[in-house]
């Protein structure tokens, strides 16, 4: 097992720009995604979702549909095999939406009620749309609002405390010369990866074989084994290419449905979700209501810090959007209070969506800090510098590294911040008012146990096998660079094999922890391999393989505040006639560990910042109170940033290798979106003199 202090030669692969190993395959169409791989005797399942928001299924009228051409089966709660829901999966207890067709209760619009299986997708779809499902409807409640009845403070989870408190908040607020007390809201938001969720399942020689689009094939395999009470070794999940994830592609109902139908029909079954179905079946970001109270001395030093965040969950599963977590490592104060509250409603269970918690939390808190800077007549960057903590404000733990101010310094220099006139509403260019804004970013830097195998082949190449997922981030390529450096060979001599649960347990592509966790495992396996190779002797035809398991090393990491940081800058123009906000440029500077592949890392940061722009100005899922369902649950009705909305975006980083990681990685997946919406909202204030505390900043809100 490698240790973090072991000296290691560097060949320069890590840190040098490298195009994607699978780039050619992707642009030529040779790379095949889960719904594209042919199988003999393949059948097609089409999902039917509930149209009511609460009640019971009275009947599923299968008979007419079973008589339609090509239809093989209609699965529903009356005939589906039983699955287990009483287990702890890799990500905790499962959302009951995974236990498909186990009872007649309907807890929200878009709950899976039937699967129609047919010989072709067209036949399955036509039959599914013909299927009549009758319900006994009950009154529903989908109305989220700040402080509404039913809101409660949940139990602490191992991941995060629901509530943190130190000092006397009210006393410090009273003693503060300057106070900001404001409420912010963010709407329900959706991730909708370009490649919809798709899975094929079949039984092959006593094994359940699955091809799925997911963020972690081993996690999906383990979850399927538990759901269907199977020996874990009898499930194999592969996910070679994935067209986006963002938290949406954990284990979701489509893969359970495919496995269930394949079991019933004794034939391969593929289930592909439609774009509309994704709006209720694969998670989303809860709306949030956040109250922030900041009390400060006239010089901007915080005395009181209060961040109370509310979100919703479903009636069947508790998921908390932890917006108030954002400020816990960020700013200290004499009295410091944070809480995440939640209310269960008759809606689908929300879930992880890029920077869960930090994305909405940073909008509220980094907006409030801008308001405090205004009230203190201070530069917003100087305000943040004044409140830079020595240790974790809530935990008291030291930071592994914290280079937030270095990000602001570099960002301010490149953005031209020094020339900024702080007065709002004073710059005009024809019908446009101009402004600039900034905000800070942070996201936890984590690592999770993973296993890897590295083989020295007889031909002088090396094969890496790890259940990593490349969801479009470039992880496959990054890991090849890590392996090349560890082996001190050129990247061209590395063969990467990923996304096959048979390769062993490994972290998912999630929580900004994938590449770091996998790189650690690969580095450890290479260390082991080099020891074996150092013993001498030739390489046999089957090669020499070394394996690693980073469980112990990861668990032995000292407790510290481990985070990435960043500084976001934006310039906007606001049309005084139409209320339209145009972002003219964005700059993000990040301190996010050693950057493995600058080419794909920059893309990932820019992707996050683009999403932050979209969050600031466009995205908003609207729930119809009467039906309990969405208005416009598709990519026409759900407005998001198009190319024409996105200006030149620059992303770069300061040197910040993680001192406790074998490669120096911290993880970059989420931090790019954090703070981006606040920087834009702060720029809109600077342009117009009006604070926008409710997202998105639509033209009708600006006017
Ligand atoms: Mo991410 S929201 O952990 O996929």
What DSSP string describes 68-126? Answer: STTEEEEEETTTPPP----S-BTTBSPPGGGSTTSSSEE-STT-EEEEEEESSHHHHHH
* Ligand 1 near 319 CB (within 6 A): no
Six token digits for residue 617 = 């100005």
Cα 260 to ligand 1 centre (Å): 27
* Ligand 1 near 417 CB (within 6 A): no
- In this prediction, residues 601-630 reach a mean pLDDT of 98
The β-bridge partners of 382 are none
Six token digits for residue 531 = 């020891």
* Total domain count, the chain: 1
What's the pLDDT at 491?
A: 96
Six token digits for residue 648 = 């030149």
Six token digits for residue 403 = 């280079």
Residue 356 CA: nearest ligand 1 atom is 2
Q: Tens of pLDDT along 650-687?
A: 999 999 999 999 999 999 999 999 999 999 999 999 99
Check pLDDT > 60 for residue 364: yes
Check pLDDT > 90 for residue 92: no
* Ligand 1 near 246 CB (within 6 A): yes
DSSP label at 492?
G
Using most ligand atoms within 8 A of CB, pick from 91, 360, 511, 672 the residue to mutate for ligand 1. 511
What's the pLDDT at 10?
A: 54
C-alpha gyration radius of the chain: 26
Tell me if 242 sits within 8 A of 476, measured CB to CB. no
Check pLDDT > 80 for residue 516: yes
Residue 680 CA to residue 119 CA, distance in Å, equals 50
* Ligand 1 near 511 CB (within 6 A): yes
Asked, for residue 519, whether it belongs to a domain, the answer is yes
Q: Tens of pLDDT along 370-386?
A: 999 999 999 999 999 99
* Ligand 1 near 250 CB (within 6 A): no
**Interface ipTM:** 0.97
Check pLDDT > 70 for residue 604: yes
Tell me if 484 sits within 8 A of 493, measured CB to CB. yes
Q: Tens of pLDDT along 208-233?
A: 999 999 999 999 999 999 999 999 99
Which structural domain range is residue 532 located in? 23-31+448-555
Asked, for residue 124, whether it belongs to a domain, the answer is no
Q: Which residue shows structure tokens 């729930």?
A: 623
Residue 355 CA: nearest ligand 1 atom is 2
Six token digits for residue 582 = 């145009």
The share of the chain scoring above pLDDT 90, in percent, equals 96
What's the pLDDT at 6?
A: 44
Check pLDDT > 90 for residue 89: no
Residue 510 CA: nearest ligand 1 atom is 3
* Ligand 1 near 247 CB (within 6 A): yes
- In this prediction, residues 390-411 reach a mean pLDDT of 98
Q: Tens of pLDDT along 268-292?
A: 999 999 999 999 999 999 999 999 9
Asked, for residue 546, whether it belongs to a domain, the answer is yes
Six token digits for residue 692 = 């926008």
Cα 248 to ligand 1 centre (Å): 8
Q: Which residue shows structure tokens 């639509």?
A: 698
**Local confidence band at 611 (pLDDT 50, 70, 90 cut-offs):** very high
Six token digits for residue 269 = 């079954």
With residue 127 as reference, give the H or E element that holds it.
Answer: helix 121-130
Provide the sign of the torsion angle of the four alpha carbons 83, 86, 92, 98, taken in this order.
positive
Helices 676-688 & 358-376 angle (0-180, nearest 10): 30
Residue 509 CA: nearest ligand 1 atom is 4
* Ligand 1 near 510 CB (within 6 A): yes
Tell me if 153 sits within 8 A of 341, measured CB to CB. yes
Cα 512 to ligand 1 centre (Å): 7
Residue 452 CA to residue 533 CA, distance in Å, equals 17
Residue 126 CA to residue 120 CA, distance in Å, equals 10
Six token digits for residue 190 = 């959706």
Check pLDDT > 60 for residue 575: yes
Residue 184 CA to residue 364 CA, distance in Å, equals 6
Cα 62 to ligand 1 centre (Å): 38
The share of the chain scoring above pLDDT 70, in percent, equals 99
Work out the mean pLDDT of the chain and round it to a whole number.
Answer: 96
Asked, for residue 58, whether it belongs to a domain, the answer is no
Check pLDDT > 50 for residue 8: no
Asked, for residue 703, whether it belongs to a domain, the answer is no
DSSP label at 350?
P
Q: Is 670 assigned a catalytic role?
A: yes
What's the pLDDT at 4?
A: 39
Atom 4 in ligand 1: residue holding the nearest Cα: 247
Asked, for residue 50, whether it belongs to a domain, the answer is no
What's the pLDDT at 536?
A: 86
Give pTM, 2 decimals: 0.97
* Ligand 1 near 611 CB (within 6 A): no
Tell me if 569 sits within 8 A of 588, measured CB to CB. yes
Task: Tell which wins on pLDDT, 410 or 157.
Answer: 410
Q: Tens of pLDDT along 10-37?
A: 579 999 999 999 999 999 999 999 999 9
Q: Tens of pLDDT along 630-643?
A: 998 999 999 999 99
Q: Tens of pLDDT along 414-450?
A: 999 999 999 999 999 999 999 999 999 999 999 999 9
* Ligand 1 near 444 CB (within 6 A): no
SS3 623: strand
What's the pLDDT at 159?
A: 75
What's the pLDDT at 156?
A: 87
Asked, for residue 540, whether it belongs to a domain, the answer is yes
Residue 667 CA to residue 566 CA, distance in Å, equals 13
CATH of the domain at 501: 3.30.365.10
Cα 676 to ligand 1 centre (Å): 17
Helix, strand, coil percentages, rounded to 5, for the chain: 30, 25, 45
What's the pLDDT at 3?
A: 37
Asked, for residue 270, whether it belongs to a domain, the answer is no
**Local confidence band at 91 (pLDDT 50, 70, 90 cut-offs):** confident
Check pLDDT > 50 for residue 567: yes
Residue 471 CA: nearest ligand 1 atom is 4
């Amino acid at each position: 097992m490698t240790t973090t202090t072991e000296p290691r030669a560097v060949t320069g692969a890590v840190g040098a720009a490298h195009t994607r190993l699978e780039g050619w395959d992707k642009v030529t169409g040779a790379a095949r995604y889960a719904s594209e791989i042919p199988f003999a005797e393949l059948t097609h399942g089409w999902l039917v979702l509930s149209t009511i928001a609460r009640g019971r299924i009275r009947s599923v009228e299968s008979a007419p549909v079973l008589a339609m051409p090509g239809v093989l089966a209609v699965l529903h709660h009356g005939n589906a095999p039983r699955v287990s829901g009483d287990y702890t999966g890799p990500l905790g207890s499962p959302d009951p939406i995974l236990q498909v067709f186990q009872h007649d209760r309907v807890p929200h619009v878009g709950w899976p009620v039937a699967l129609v299986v047919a010989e072709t997708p067209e036949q399955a779809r036509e039959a599914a749309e013909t299927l009549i499902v009758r319900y006994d409807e009950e009154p529903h409640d989908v109305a989220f609002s700040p402080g509404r009845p039913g809101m409660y403070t949940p139990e602490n989870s191992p991941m995060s405390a629901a509530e943190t408190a130190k000092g006397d908040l009210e006393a410090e607020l009273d003693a503060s010369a300057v106070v900001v007390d404001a409420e912010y809201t963010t709407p329900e938001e959706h991730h909708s990866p370009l490649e919809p969720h798709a899975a094929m399942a079949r039984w092959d020689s006593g094994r359940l074989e699955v091809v799925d689009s997911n963020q972690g094939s081993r996690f999906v395999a383990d979850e399927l084994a538990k759901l269907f009470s199977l020996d874990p070794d009898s499930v194999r999940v592969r996910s070679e290419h994935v067209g986006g994830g963002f938290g949406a592609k954990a284990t979701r109902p489509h893969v359970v449905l495919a496995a269930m139908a394949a079991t019933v029909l004794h034939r391969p079954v593929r289930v592909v979700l439609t774009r509309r179905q994704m709006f209720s079946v694969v998670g989303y970001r809860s709306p949030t209501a956040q109250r922030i109270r900041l009390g400060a001395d006239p010089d901007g030093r915080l005395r009181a810090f209060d961040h109370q965040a509310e979100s919703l969950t479903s009636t069947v599963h508790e998921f908390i959007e932890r917006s108030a977590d954002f400020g816990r490592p960020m700013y200290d104060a004499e009295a410091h209070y944070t809480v995440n509250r939640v209310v269960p409603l008759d809606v689908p269970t929300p879930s992880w969506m890029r920077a869960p918690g930090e994305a909405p939390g940073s909008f509220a808190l980094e907006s409030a800090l801008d308001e405090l800077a205004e009230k203190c007549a201070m530069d917003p960057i100087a305000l943040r510098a004044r409140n830079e903590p020595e240790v974790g404000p809530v935990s008291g733990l030291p930071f592994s590294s914290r280079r937030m101010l270095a990000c602001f310094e570099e960002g301010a220099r490149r953005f031209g911040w020094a020339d900024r006139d702080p007065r709002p509403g004073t710059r005009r260019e024809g019908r446009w008012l101009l402004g600039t804004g900034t905000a800070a970013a942070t996201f936890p830097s984590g690592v999770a146990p993973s296993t890897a195998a590295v083989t020295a082949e007889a031909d002088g190449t090396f094969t890496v096998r790890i259940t990593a997922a490349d969801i479009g981030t470039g992880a496959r390529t990054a890991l090849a660079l890590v392996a090349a450096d560890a082996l001190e060979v050129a990247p061209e001599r590395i063969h990467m094999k990923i996304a096959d649960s048979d390769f062993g347990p490994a972290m998912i592509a999630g929580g900004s922890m994938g590449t770091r966790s996998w790189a650690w495992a690969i580095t450890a396996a290479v260390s082991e391999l080099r020891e074996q190779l150092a013993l001498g002797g030739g390489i046999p035809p089957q090669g020499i393989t070394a394996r690693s398991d980073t469980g112990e090393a990861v668990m032995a990491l000292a407790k510290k505040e481990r985070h990435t940081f960043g500084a976001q800058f934006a310039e906007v123009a606001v049309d005084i006639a139409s209320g339209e906000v145009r972002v003219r440029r964005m700059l993000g500077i990040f301190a996010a560990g050693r950057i493995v592949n600058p080419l794909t890392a920059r893309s990932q940061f820019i992707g996050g910042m683009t999403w932050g722009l979209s969050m600031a100005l466009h995205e908003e899922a609207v729930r119809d109170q009467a039906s309990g369902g969405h208005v416009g649950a598709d990519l026409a009705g759900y407005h998001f940033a198009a190319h024409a909305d996105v200006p030149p975006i620059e992303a770069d980083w300061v040197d910040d290798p993680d001192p406790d990681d074998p490669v120096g990685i911290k993880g970059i997946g989420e931090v790019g979106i954090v703070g981006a919406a606040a920087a834009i909202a702060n720029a809109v204030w600077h342009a117009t003199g009006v604070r926008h505390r409710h997202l998105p900043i639509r033209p009708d809100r600006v006017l």
